[in-house]
């Protein structure tokens, strides 16, 4: 609930800043002079539906997508000692963290990696790669699992979705403003929305998304450090240190697809970006 309140407050604050900026730069007057009666509040609502809606739909189906796109096999009944140990480790750490028991899965990938996803703290999935189980010791795997359990316990999935939703909302919002300016002011189109609007809006979305991704990456990096700390608390400080060193010694991991990359313990998207 606190995250949602902060999210709403952030949206309101940004809307105030944008309104003031429009008044200072006289953008509203320019659009009015061209006969464009732009409803900023209405455009913001549409942008929120597009941006936030897409982000939360992605989160809602993330477990299903992980199973389908990455071939994550859920451990229903442990088939060997390794699977039994993995389930026991997740069970113990989830209990210590005060969250519901996540689904536990393994995906076939030679690179040591792991991720967590799911709609809430009590409806999550923790998955590890076959490469992680083969290349790292049990102590190191325990620390990696603790890292992912900490993501779940910290509510990072919903937090990152809110963050991405805000970013998506205002990227779409500002890109639409650019589209209106190009279509009506530069190209002097007076009949509906022309191709100038759609082309310039698309280009603006790409440019703004690239800039906004730096903010999302910075925030994700901050959450990664917190998850490292949580993993150290659950598995032990030295185990976490050894796990991070083992990941560093290995070959650079391929990025996990889509939203799974945000909470992958290994990969170029977050750990090597800075």
Express each pLDDT in 122-173 by its tens digit: 999 999 999 999 999 999 999 999 999 999 999 888 888 878 888 888 888 8
Q: At what angle do helices 138-153 and 156-180 cross, to 10 degrees?
A: 60
- CA dihedral for 68, 89, 224, 50, sign (positive or negative): positive
**pTM (2 decimals)?**
0.76
Q: Which domains does the chain have, with CATH numbers?
A: 2-60+158-221 (no CATH), 67-155+233-247 (3.30.2010.10)
The span from the CA of 137 to the CA of 144, in Å, is: 11
The span from the CA of 272 to the CA of 252, in Å, is: 9
* Catalytic residue, candidates 148, 190, 224, 259: 148
What is residue 223's predicted lDDT score, i.e. its pLDDT? Answer: 87
What is residue 8's predicted lDDT score, i.e. its pLDDT? Answer: 62
List of the chain residues with pLDDT < 50? 268-274
What is residue 72's predicted lDDT score, i.e. its pLDDT? Answer: 93
Is 148 an annotated catalytic residue?
yes
- CA dihedral for 177, 181, 183, 189, sign (positive or negative): positive
Q: Are 141 and 87 in contact (CB under 8 A)?
A: no
The span from the CA of 123 to the CA of 107, in Å, is: 19
Own/partner contacts of 240-246, CB < 8 Å, gap of 24 or more, are 240/143, 240/146, 240/147, 242/137, 242/139, 242/140, 242/143, 243/136, 243/139, 243/140, 243/141, 243/143, 243/144, 243/147, 246/112, 246/135, 246/136, 246/137, 246/140
């Amino acid at each position: 609930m606190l995250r949602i309140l902060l999210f709403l407050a952030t949206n309101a604050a940004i809307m105030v800043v944008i309104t003031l900026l429009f008044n200072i730069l006289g953008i509203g007057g320019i659009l009015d002079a061209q006969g464009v009666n732009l409803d900023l509040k209405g455009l913001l609502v549409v942008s929120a539906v597009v941006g936030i809606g897409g982000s939360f739909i992605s989160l809602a189906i993330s477990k299903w997508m992980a199973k389908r796109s990455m071939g994550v096999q859920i451990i229903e009944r442990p088939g060997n000692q390794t699977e039994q140990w993995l389930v026991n480790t997740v069970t113990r750490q989830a209990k210590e963290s005060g969250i519901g028991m996540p689904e536990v899965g393994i995906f076939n990938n030679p690179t040591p990696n792991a991720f967590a996803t799911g709609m809430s703290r009590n409806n999550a999935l923790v998955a590890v790669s076959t490469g992680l189980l083969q290349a790292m010791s049990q102590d190191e795997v325990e620390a990696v699992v603790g890292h992912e359990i900490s993501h779940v316990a910290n509510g990072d999935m919903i937090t990152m979705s809110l963050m991405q939703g805000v970013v998506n909302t205002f990227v779409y919002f500002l890109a639409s403003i650019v589209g209106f300016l190009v279509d009506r002011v530069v190209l002097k189109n007076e009949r509906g929305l022309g191709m100038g609007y759609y082309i310039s809006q698309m280009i603006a979305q790409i440019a703004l998304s690239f800039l906004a991704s730096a903010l999302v990456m910075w925030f994700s990096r901050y959450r990664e450090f917190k998850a490292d700390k949580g993993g150290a608390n659950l598995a032990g400080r030295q185990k976490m240190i050894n796990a991070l060193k083992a990941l560093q010694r290995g070959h650079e991991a391929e990025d996990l697809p889509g939203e799974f990359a945000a909470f992958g313990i290994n990969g170029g998207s977050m750990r090597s970006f800075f």
